[in-house]
């Protein structure tokens, strides 16, 4: 029995399936790899359906859609005011933690050149800062707890 070659426009990688496949010509860049358009899995020569999705493979994946640009975050400047000055970082952090437990956000600020000169904070102090609208409540909370000087 003589073997018959399929016409060039049939899928050349699987001649025994050629009757069931559409008559298409592969792109010039094709090197024997097909893709599942749903799960984007790659298949080697000899496969024409995705084993997971059970759909026909394609020569090339469609281009990915352009992602929509993320909206710019709106930045709001918040004024912080100093409500207390401490002689060490750990005292200021304790007070900040106490305020946090009471629902008041606070920031500790001290100038020690990024940790290079920790003694500098002894002379300038470590400041506890809160939002302007929380200042009165924060001062009262610290005074009642004995964290104020």
pLDDT digits (tens, 9 = 90+) for 110-125: 876 555 655 555 567 7
pLDDT of residue 83: 92
Residue 17: helix, strand or coil by DSSP? helix
pLDDT of residue 6: 46
Q: Is 3.90.180.10 the CATH classification of the domain at 80-145?
A: no
Put simply, whether the predicted model's pTM sits higher than 0.85 gets the answer: no
Q: Which pLDDT does position 130 carry in this prediction? A: 94
Below-70 pLDDT ranges, the chain: 1-31, 112-123, 148-149
**pLDDT number for residue 66:** 84
Judge whether 84 and 127 are in contact, CB under 8 Å.
yes
| Distance separating alpha carbons of residues 77 and 7, to the nearest angstrom | 71
- Domain regions of the chain by residue span: 8-65, 80-145
Q: What is the pLDDT of residue 109?
A: 86
Q: Report which secondary-structure segment, H or E, holds 143.
A: helix 135-145
pLDDT at residue 120, as a whole number: 57
Query: Which has the closest alpha carbon to 30: 12, 18, 17?
Result: 12
């Amino acid at each position: 029995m003589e073997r018959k070659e399929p016409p060039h426009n049939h899928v050349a990688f699987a001649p025994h399936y050629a009757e069931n496949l559409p008559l298409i010509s592969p792109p010039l860049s094709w090197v024997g790899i097909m893709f599942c358009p749903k799960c984007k899995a790659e298949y080697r020569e000899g496969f024409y359906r995705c084993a997971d999705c059970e759909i026909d493979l394609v020569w090339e994946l469609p281009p990915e859609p352009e992602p929509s640009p993320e909206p710019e975050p709106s930045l709001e400047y918040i004024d912080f005011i100093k409500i207390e000055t401490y002689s060490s970082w750990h005292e200021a952090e304790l007070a900040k933690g106490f305020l946090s437990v009471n629902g008041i956000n606070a920031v500790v600020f001290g100038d020690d050149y990024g940790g290079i000169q920790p003694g500098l904070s002894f002379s300038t102090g470590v400041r506890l800062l809160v939002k302007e609208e929380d200042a009165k409540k924060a001062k009262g909370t610290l005074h009642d707890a004995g964290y104020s000087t």
